[in-house]
Amino acid sequence: MTHGLEAPAAVDPNALHYQEILFSLVMSVVAVLGRDNPLVRSPEILWAFAAMLAFNLSYHRLLRVRGGAITPLVSMAVNVALCSLVLGYSGGDQSGFWPLYLLPIFTACLHLERRHVLGVCAAAGAFLAYFYLEAFWNDRRWEACEFLIKLGVLGLSAAVTAQLSVKERRQRERIEALGRSLERRTAGDLQAMKKQSLDCLIPGIVHALNNPLGIIIGTVDLLLKDAPAGSPRLQDLERIRSAARRCAQLGGDLQAYAQTQGSAR
Amino acid sequence: MSTVLIADDNSGVRRVLVSMFAAAGMQTVTARDGAQALESARRFLPDLILLDVRMPGRDGFDVCSELRSDEATRGIPILMLTGQGVLETEYAGIGSGADGYLFKPVNFGDLEARVRSLLARRAS
């Protein structure tokens, strides 16, 4: 029933499975209320639900640690076993509690990968089949059909839930990937814009610097022209002119660099 | 004595250029923007025009093109002054009809040599 499933994407094995706790709690109340039903063995069924509740609570509180003692898959298997216990205490193949198997199946669909979902479904089917062994053995066809219908309902529910879960997970992943890509692109664009602004700014700065440098160099040129030969100021003036020319050269280099970057883009 | 029109929006640069031309034995007329440069060129008909590229209002290229399209100023040699040492400036200057260009900061020796060369060419 689950062949149509696509492999779910990344799964968080540590995601909280609150539905198991809530479901166990509700079913414990149901078991208390239905304790007078002749098919139900009370208080055993109550202990079974209490065990389910205790296990799920302790699993979430104590056992579910990253890479801890019990993996989510084992948790589902324990839940399947506890559901079977409930079925055993409430009439076996006659029990109306068989949809309880949907609890670990749905949880697996929501949080585990396809092969694990198939494993949980197989375990639920095997436990359910156990209650119909006698019917199979004695060739009671109607009861065998009943088993197949129940198995079909469980499988179909698993397939639909897993399909929806996969779709939702993929959408979430796409959105996350889109967000990451947008973040990267925005950072890249910002970097490019900064660079572009700098490339536009450089020619302006160099142009603004060239005017005062021109005044310095021109004035020094005139002073040098008028200075008498051998004047002690000649060397000072030469030094000023040389420094100003170095500044102008630096500006020219910067401008050439900005031009090269502009052409490269 | 040759007359040179100096058009530059920076007063400091104008003053230095005036001193340089005075030292070279030339008289000068100054303009602080494109419009004033056009007006002075038509009024004084100088022997050479030194035109800054970046000026408020009409830039050096624009002024140069207009001077070239005017019968009275067409023959005046024009030397463009630019602070942008990039090839695009050179192409644009030549495209607008300039006879040459000088990069800022201007060196007195270069300026005098270029100006004298252009004046001699015009005289011949």
ipTM of the complex: 0.80
Q: Please state, in angstroms and rounded to a whole number, the distance separating the CA atoms of residues B16 and A259.
A: 29
Chain A touched by B108 (CB under 8 Å): yes
Q: In what order do the strands lie in the sheet with B48-52?
A: B27-31, B3-7, B48-52, B78-82, B100-103
The whole-number average pLDDT for the span A203-219 is 86
Q: By the 8 A CB rule, do A92 and A52 touch?
A: no
Lowest mean pLDDT among A15-19, A221-225, B49-53, B92-96: A15-19
Peptide bond into A104 cis (omega under 30): no
pLDDT tens profile A146-169:
889 999 998 898 888 888 887 888
**Best mutation target, A209, A215, A224, A250, to test chain B (most B CBs within 10 A):** A215
| Residue with token string 């995601």 | A15
Task: Give the pLDDT of residue A192.
Answer: 84
Conformation bin of residue A161: beta by default, left when phi > 0, alpha when psi is -120 to 50:
alpha
- Token pair belonging to A41: 């063995």
Check CB contact under 8 Å for A207 and B23.
Answer: no
The whole-number average pLDDT for the span A166-181 is 87
Task: Give the pLDDT of residue A2.
Answer: 39
Chain A touched by B94 (CB under 8 Å): no
Is the dihedral angle over the CA atoms A130, A135, A138, A141 positive or is it negative?
A: negative
- Antiparallel, parallel or unpaired: β B27-31 and B78-82: unpaired
The whole-number average pLDDT for the span B81-87 is 67
Check CB contact under 8 Å for A207 and B54.
Answer: yes
| pLDDT higher than 50, residue A1 | no
Rg, chain A, Cα only: 40
Q: By the 8 A CB rule, do A99 and A87 touch?
A: no
- Residues 119-178 of chain A whose Cβ lies under 8 A from any Cβ of chain B: none
Higher pLDDT among residues A22 and B120, named by residue: B120
Within 8 A of A244 by CB-CB distance, chain B residues are 105
* Residue among B20, B87, B105 minimizing CB distance to A213: B105
The whole-number average pLDDT for the span B103-116 is 88
| pLDDT higher than 80, residue A89 | yes
Check CB contact under 8 Å for A221 and B20.
Answer: yes
Check CB contact under 8 Å for B105 and A259.
Answer: no
Higher pLDDT among residues A104 and A13, named by residue: A104
Chain A touched by B102 (CB under 8 Å): no
Chain A touched by B86 (CB under 8 Å): yes
Within 8 A of B12 by CB-CB distance, chain A residues are 211-212, 215
* Residue among B54, B86, B108 minimizing CB distance to A218: B108
* Residue among A214, A225, A256 minimizing CB distance to B106: A214
| pLDDT higher than 70, residue A47 | yes
Partners of residue B103 on adjacent β-strands? B82
Q: Please state, in angstroms and rounded to a whole number, the distance separating the CA atoms of residues B66 and A9.
A: 71
Partners of residue B31 on adjacent β-strands? B7
Amino acid at B81: L
DSSP string, B6-35: EE-S-HHHHHHHHHHHHHTT-EEEEESSHH
pLDDT range class, residue A9, cuts 50, 70, 90: very low
Chain B touched by A203 (CB under 8 Å): yes
Return the SS3 of B40. helix
Amino acid at A144: A
Q: By the 8 A CB rule, do A12 and A169 touch?
A: no
Within 8 A of B10 by CB-CB distance, chain A residues are 211
Chain B touched by A255 (CB under 8 Å): yes
Non-local CB neighbours of B92 within 8 Å, separated by 6+ positions: B61
Chain A touched by B16 (CB under 8 Å): yes
Q: Please state, in angstroms and rounded to a whole number, the distance separating the CA atoms of residues A265 and A111.
A: 48
| pLDDT higher than 50, residue B113 | yes
Task: Give the pLDDT of residue A65.
Answer: 52
Chain B touched by A202 (CB under 8 Å): no
Amino acid at B61: F
**H or E, element range at B80:** strand B78-82
Q: Please state, in angstroms and rounded to a whole number, the distance separating the CA atoms of residues A74 and B65.
A: 87
Residues recorded for chain B: 124
Please tell me chain B's helix, strand, coil percentages from 3-state DSSP, rounded to the nearest 5.
50, 20, 35
Q: If you measure CA to CA, which chain B residue comes closest to A260? A: B86
- Residues 217-236 of chain A whose Cβ lies under 8 A from any Cβ of chain B: 217-219, 221-222, 225-226
